[in-house]
């Protein structure tokens, strides 16, 4: 269950969040090498604005949902 909640390491204000079971024994360097940057090109805001303009629907969502629409 933890792995499905955390997934790959993602950086937040508190540092890299990881599943301790998946990264047991891994060094900080190894963990950093697996880091996922969720929106490296900053496209989510643009996609959300386009979807809202086209559909009239807005709110919190995820990139995958927008791309599938």
Mark whether 32 and 45 lie in a shared domain: no
Mark whether 1 and 17 lie in a shared domain: yes
Mark whether 1 and 33 lie in a shared domain: yes
Q: In the numeric block, which tokens belong to residue 5?
A: 């909640």
Mark whether 33 and 64 lie in a shared domain: no
Mark whether 3 and 27 lie in a shared domain: yes
pTM for this entry: 0.53
Q: What is the number of structural domains in the chain?
A: 2
Structural domain boundaries enclosing 48: 39-69
Residue 41 DSSP SS3: coil
| Chain segment 6-54, per-residue pLDDT in tens | 678 888 888 888 887 888 899 999 999 998 888 888 888 888 889 889 9
Look at residue 1 and tell me whether its pLDDT is greater than 50.
no
4-14 burial code (b ≥16 CB/10 A, e <16): eebebbeeeee
Q: What's residue 22's pLDDT?
A: 84
């Amino acid at each position: 269950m933890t792995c499905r909640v955390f997934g790959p390491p993602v950086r937040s204000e508190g540092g890299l969040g990881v599943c301790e079971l998946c990264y047991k024994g891994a060094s900080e360097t190894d963990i950093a090498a697996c880091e996922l940057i969720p929106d490296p090109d900053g496209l989510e805001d643009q996609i959300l604005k386009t979807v809202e303009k086209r559909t009239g629907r807005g709110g919190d969502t995820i990139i995958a949902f927008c791309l599938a629409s």
